[in-house]
Structure 1
Amino acid sequence: MIDVQRLRVLRAVAEHGSFNRAAAALRLTPSAVSQHVAVLERSLGAQVVARSTRGVTLTQAGRIMVQAAESVTAELAHAQQQVDRLGTGRTQLTVATFTSGGRFLLPGALARLTAAHPDTVLHVREGEPEDSLALVRQGAVDLALAYHFDGPLPGQVNQNSGVEWTALLKDPLHVVLPVSHRLAGRAVLDIAEVAAEPWVLGCLKTEAYLRRYAERAGFSPEMRGTTTDYFFARSLVAAGMGISLVPSIALAPELAGVCTVPIKEPVPIRHIGAATLSRRRNHPQLTTLIHALQEQAAAVDDTLPSRREGRSWRSRV
């Protein structure tokens, strides 16, 4: 019989990359973590981690067991929810979201959900996509509103992970300039035209994406500032610190002193979607919430600057 606690320890080792860091996260000693892993290996008859001076990595058997650990954890969390419902008669639903997506998509969708299922108890928590998607896999949250740029989905979301991705919205990024900028009146611009400009950005992931995008355009952007808030980044643009790259849904509310200009093809896009456990796809409240998010995304899509006009637009000074 495989011990659930040992699976939990192995998952922590995989997440943190060493016995010491896993021990700190679990509030155990490194020796206790090592013993749990050793006993698990003996019970399986297979090595689950490869040890080296640089830390530990999972073997193929270890990866199988970590995936099993996530499934077991998710099932136990779901069972706890069902038990809780026996006592209260109310369904608990936890949603994780990133800030700008939650601001524009969640309120309307949650209003539709509570209208359809008034006895549902809702919890919302903010988090970065990779963290929220991990919580979905573990069963700690029921749905994660997340995003990714080009490339694969974050957080090991694939056909083997047990997590289902529902695409909601393509969110194109725009260049934000001071209204006095020489390119402020342009209907569209090539990203290479602003290669020499300093940048201030509202998200670390946007910075990483801009660097990849700029590399393809043949330049390396100069960073003057990175914040965790797109409105603050636009405020710094208005103050003359540089220019910015901002997703469409984060361009509201309007801000005096800045101008937004679309980027010519290939347009950088942030792909927004909802992640849930595949085996819970028929959960009534989750089904209602996903449909509500799709309706809300369609409504938001019609209001984006790129949909309203095929030209640049300025905030009133």
Structure 2
Amino acid sequence: MLDLHRLRVLREVARTGSFSAAARELRITPSAVSQQIGALERSLGLPVVHRGPRGVSVTEPGRMLADVTAELDGDLGQVERHLAAYADGLVGRLAIATFPTAGLALLPRALVGLTARTEVELDVRESEPQDTVPLLAAGGADLGIVYHFFTPAPPREWAAEYEYTPLLGEEMYAALPARHPLADRAEIELADLADERWVQGVRDCGLQTDQYCLAAGFPPRTACRASDYGFMQTLVAGGVGVALVPALAMAPQIEGLAFVRVRPFPHRYVGVLRRKGRWHPPLGSELVDRLRETAADLAKPGITPLVR
């Protein structure tokens, strides 16, 4: 096995022409130079220098090794510089999974400092939390922006394998057609909407609406289900039904909508998931910090930063 330190000693011997001159350059003793050269020759089974009364000369194998070591040091220097830039977040690739509303309100502001770096490659994919968790497990993403309901504590099933960083809590508002009799209220009880038809989300979002309504004493009558909060709100504005919409997803620019606070104030919570026990790229750690800063600075109704 070639030893890089011994090869560097040989390179200095070849460059300076003597053990003593090489020792001065390397700041070791001539005896240490001789020992390193001897050890290199024993490992190779070949002489790398000729020792004579007038000093040393390098053999053909020694010259070949010295030349290769010079090239190798240049390559290693380039690798070291690249690794230093990687550690500083100046180069590298980062794969991010996010649900759509975080991709609208949180992620773009947090990414600005990263997208300005020409050597940084970002891979952002839309993914609901139930899809993000297996994506992280398979190594398909470095981090995932996720949501959950009811309490600020994340689901227990995440705790064993994932590191969770809380970002914010957001109230769920009742989205009503602007002409709805309750549209001008400051707050309503969820039970006030028991007789309405509902525009609901799918999967976890739809399930949570069901649970909130059942806790308020009624099963929701579903008019339709949609996977996009923007589309849901256009349906509400058109009079198809009412909906529960988290603060991040509210789209007041859609005409014909009203948003009313709902007691007992249902919430959705947003955070970042990363695998435990896995080395995290510096870019990922930087993005988590930027997301926390962005969450702390969000000035939207119903948003509570959870930055620790």
TM-score of Structure 1 vs Structure 2, range by shorter chain: 0.5 to 0.7
Aligned equivalent of 1:145 = 145
The 8 Å contact of residues 170 and 302 in structure 2, kept in 1 or not, is answered as no
The change in CA–CA distance for 1:196 and 1:281 in structure 2 (over 3 A counts) is farther
The change in CA–CA distance for 1:252 and 1:129 in structure 2 (over 3 A counts) is same
Of 266, 269, 278 in structure 1, the residue corresponding to residue 267 of structure 2 is 269
Aligned equivalent of 2:233 = 234
Deviates more, 1:227-236 or 1:148-157: 148-157
Aligned equivalent of 2:102 = 101
Aligned equivalent of 1:134 = 134
The CA deviation at 1:153 is 3.7
Deviations 1:192-246 (A, max 9, x none): 1111111012444222111111111111110001111111111111111111111
The 8 Å contact of residues 202 and 231 in structure 1, kept in 2 or not, is answered as no
The 8 Å contact of residues 176 and 234 in structure 1, kept in 2 or not, is answered as yes
The 8 Å contact of residues 106 and 293 in structure 1, kept in 2 or not, is answered as yes
Q: Report SS of the residue matched to 2:187.
A: coil
Could you tell me the TM-score, scaled by structure 1's length? 0.63
Q: Structure 2 CA distance, aligned partners of 1:206 and 1:132?
A: 15
Deviations 1:167-207 (A, max 9, x none): 11102110011111111110001101111111012444222
The CA deviation at 1:298 is 1.7
Question: Where in structure 2 are the equivalents of 1:166-315 lying within 5 Å?
Answer: 166-252=165-251, 254-265=253-264, 267-280=265-278, 283-300=281-298, 302=299, 304-306=300-302
Count of matched residue pairs: 218
Q: Structure 2 CA distance, aligned partners of 1:221 and 1:164?
A: 35
Q: What amino acid is aligned across from residue 92 of structure 2 in structure 1?
A: T
Q: Report SS of the residue matched to 1:263.
A: strand
Aligned equivalent of 1:48 = none
The CA deviation at 1:281 is 6.6
The change in CA–CA distance for 1:171 and 1:307 in structure 2 (over 3 A counts) is closer
Q: What amino acid is aligned across from residue 243 of structure 2 in structure 1?
A: S
Identity %: 36
Q: Structure 2 CA distance, aligned partners of 1:114 and 1:184?
A: 41
RMSD, aligned CA: 2.5
Q: What amino acid is aligned across from residue 290 of structure 2 in structure 1?
A: A
> Which blocks of at least 5 consecutive residues in structure 1 are unaligned?
1-81, 309-317
The CA deviation at 1:156 is 3.1
Deviations 1:58-101 (A, max 9, x none): xxxxxxxxxxxxxxxxxxxxxxxx9xx88x97421100111111
Q: Structure 2 CA distance, aligned partners of 1:278 and 1:113?
A: 24
